[in-house]
């Protein structure tokens, strides 16, 4: 029973939806802004689950698969179809509520916001080739990890800040420090995506998809790719904390996820089951959100 529940939560991507909400909450905590509205978080959760489910359900054919996740989708096709319809309806209602409540603020947003926002769904759509005859960014090998990291950073940084402008009229006078917050999350999510490529090493190699792991091997990927990207993320974090005058304890809390990511990367030198990647590696995103929020709560308490 416990195993079925775990598979349901992680294979059906509900945990991924939770991560999107948690990381968005972390963003407003670190910027010391008010929270977004509940309807926005419902929209973000539903859209994230629906997007990932649509992308993965396409891989579930009628034949029995050795991949536990693909097999789960094959055995739950009817549930997935109904779930997708419900999630789409929730997204539609949420978008309608936001639009009719804030349509004046939405249409009065500067062009720069619209241009910035448009890059996120465009990259998300092209990542899985969801448009007819579209370019599938997953097939670009090493580039795909940066794309999915960009989409995640955009969803949990740019979208919440944009919604704060719409819902509360809050805008950032100096967007410079937002850039460093974005880069910090982009690098973290990119490394997270590269670690998932380790799981797909054999399939990617057979498809001649030149990911970092396929090109240079696991050990070099850790030392020449993952560690440098984490260092860029840490540097971006330190610059952001300098802007925000974070206390040392808060900075230390924010460094924990980066160190944990490096530790888990070393553990991947031995083969792991798919649930390990979904629970532990994706779980690091939840650890990141919890540490970021906890650091801010402690800083407020110490003040």
Q: For residue range 199-222, what is the model confidence (pLDDT) as tens digits?
A: 665 555 545 566 777 677 777 888
Minimum mean pLDDT among 135-144, 146-155, 217-226: which range? 135-144
Question: pLDDT band at 295, cuts 50/70/90?
Answer: very high
Closest-CA residue to 233 (of 184, 270, 266, 282): 184
Looking at residue 59, what is its pLDDT? 56
Average pLDDT over residues 186-206: 75
CA 257 to chain centre: 14
Whether the pLDDT of residue 134 is over 60: the answer is no
Domains held by the chain: number: 1
Domain membership of residue 249 as a residue range = 2-302
Q: What is the pTM of this model?
A: 0.90
Whether the CB-CB separation of 139 and 180 falls below 8 Å is answered with no
Mean pLDDT of 278-288: 90
User: What DSSP character marks residue 113?
Assistant: H
CA distance 70 to 167: 40
* pLDDT reading at 284 higher than 90: yes
User: From CA 182, how far away is CA 150, in angstroms rounded?
Assistant: 9
What Cα–Cα distance (Å) separates residue 213 from each residue in 136, 210, 281? Answer: 20, 8, 16
């Amino acid at each position: 029973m416990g195993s079925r529940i775990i598979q349901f939560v992680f294979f059906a991507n509900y945990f991924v939806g939770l991560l999107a909400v948690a990381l968005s909450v972390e963003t407003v905590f670190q910027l010391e802004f008010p929270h977004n509205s509940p309807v926005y978080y419902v929209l973000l959760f539903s859209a994230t689950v629906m997007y990932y489910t649509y992308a993965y359900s396409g891989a579930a054919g009628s034949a029995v698969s050795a991949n536990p996740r693909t097999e789960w989708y094959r055995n739950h096709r009817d549930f997935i179809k109904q779930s997708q319809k419900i999630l789409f309806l929730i997204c539609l209602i949420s978008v309608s509520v936001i639009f009719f409540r804030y349509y004046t603020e939405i249409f009065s947003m500067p062009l720069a916001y619209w241009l910035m926002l448009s890059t996120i769904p465009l990259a998300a759509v092209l990542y899985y080739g969801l448009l007819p005859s579209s370019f599938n960014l997953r097939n670009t090998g090493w580039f795909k990890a940066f794309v999915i990291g960009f989409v995640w950073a955009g969803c949990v940084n740019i979208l919440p800040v944009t919604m704060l402008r719409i819902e509360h009229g809050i805008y950032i006078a100096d967007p410079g420090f937002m850039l460093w917050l974005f880069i910090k999350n982009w690098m973290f999510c990119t490394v997270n995506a590269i670690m998932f490529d380790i799981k797909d090493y054999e399939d990617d190699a057979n498809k001649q998809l030149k990911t970092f792991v396929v090109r240079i091997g696991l050990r070099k990927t850790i030392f020449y790719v993952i560690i440098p990207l984490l260092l860029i993320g840490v540097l971006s974090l330190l610059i952001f904390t300098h802007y925000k005058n974070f206390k040392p304890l808060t900075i230390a809390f924010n460094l924990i996820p980066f160190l944990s990511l490096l530790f888990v990367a070393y553990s991947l030198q031995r083969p792991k089951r798919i649930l390990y990647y979904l629970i532990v590696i994706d779980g690091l995103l939840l650890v990141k959100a919890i540490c970021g929020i906890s650091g801010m709560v402690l800083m407020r308490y110490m003040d």
